[in-house]
Amino acid sequence: MRYTVGEAVSFVARRAMQKAARTARPGDNQTLWNLGKADERRFWRAWIDQQGMEWSDDFQQRLDPGAPFDDWVEQQAIDASITGPVLGVLDVGAGPVTCLGYRSPNWEIHITATDALGSDYAGLWRDAGRMPPVVTRPVPAEDLSAVSYMGPFDVVHMRNALDHCVSPVAAIEQMTQQVADGGVILLRHEVNEAENESYKGLHQWNLEPRGDNLHVWNKNVDVNLTGWLDERGFDCQTEALDIGGAPWVRNVVTRR
């Protein structure tokens, strides 16, 4: 079989990544992440170029500045008795454009969106000749200090990104630093994504509800995040649910 230069480079990178995943040790997280990020960028380039691919409704909703704010997040903010007029939201690992929506009957929504690939995503939007309503800033979850001047935030949100991080525990620790007193950290993840995706690309960690606890694990490490948060003065409620036939886990984290 003949390969173009691009295909051969991508083939070699993929083989290197699969070998690295098979032989990974705890200290190799950054290496795997560096190898995996090209896959992530490729996925989102296709998503932007093809206006959401099979998720075209999601694409339209994310780019619509009038789109309603996310129901679940809105309800958690109501339950936490957060008062208005402004709801400050930090979306961590937001992707090229936040999924949260922008308009609420209860608050003026101010979203700060961050992602480790923020610079890459800015380039993708430039190439496509478009701009999202909220630009994603290039900030890794493991060091959110670059946006701390915007906070503290009423809501710190993360969807399907903790499993992509170099260090999920460092990311959680950073989120606890950014949430306001009386605010909430909201996590929602598809269960055991690294296992589902055979540890390909940036899928290096699994999020799993075990009873009332949220665990993050891979082949080397298993951390009870609920216990870790408890030791630092945070309660973490865990809800296991089914979305579209797939198991998900949602967590509401609050300071005691």
What minimum distance in Å lies between the beta carbon of 108 and ligand SAM?
A: 22
- Comparing CB distances to ligand SAM, the nearer of 77 and 117 is 117
The closest of 125, 186, 184 to 161, measured between CA atoms, is 186
Contact between 95 and ligand SAM by CB under 6 A: the answer reads yes
**Using CB under 6 A, which of 17, 21, 155, 166 touches ligand SAM?**
166
Asked if 156 touches ligand SAM (CB under 6 A), the answer is no
Q: Nearest approach, Cβ of 240 to ligand SAM (angstroms)?
A: 18
Minimum distance from residue 142 beta carbon to ligand SAM (Å): 6
- Neighbour tally for 151: CB within 10 Å: 17
With CB under 6 A as the contact rule, the residue among 100, 172, 202, 236 that binds ligand SAM is 202
250 binds ligand SAM (CB under 6 A): no
Which sign, positive or negative, has the C-alpha torsion 88, 92, 97, 100?
negative
Q: How many residues does the chain have?
A: 256
Output 60 or 83, the one with its CB closest to ligand SAM. 60
How many CB atoms neighbour CB 29 within 10 A? 19
- Which among 96, 93, 146 is positioned nearest to 123, based on CA atoms? 96
Report the 10 Å Cβ neighbour count for 149: 6
User: Segment near ligand SAM (CB under 6 A), from 155-163, 210-218, 225-233, 244-252?
Assistant: 155-163
Residue 245 parent element (H or E):
none
SS3 121: helix
Quote the CA–CA distance of 248 and 114 in Å, as a whole number: 23
Binding mask 104-123 for ligand SAM (x = CB under 6 A): -----------xxx------
Q: Which stretch binds ligand SAM (CB under 6 A): 46-54, 92-100, 207-215, 245-253?
A: 92-100
CB of 118 to ligand SAM, least distance (A): 8
d(CA 131, CA 128): 9
Q: Does 36 bind ligand SAM (CB under 6 A)?
A: no
- DSSP summary character for residue 96: S
With CB under 6 A as the rule, give the number of residues binding ligand SAM. 18
Minimal distance in Å, beta carbon 73 to ligand SAM? 12
3-state secondary structure of 81: coil
CA atoms within 13 A on the CB side of 57: 0
Q: How far is the CB of 91 from ligand SAM (least distance, A)?
A: 7
CB of 164 to ligand SAM, least distance (A): 4
Q: Which residues contact 49 (CB under 8 A, 6 or more apart)?
A: 128
Residues at the site binding ligand SAM, with contacts judged by CB under 6 A? 40, 93-95, 99, 115-117, 140-142, 159-161, 164-166, 202
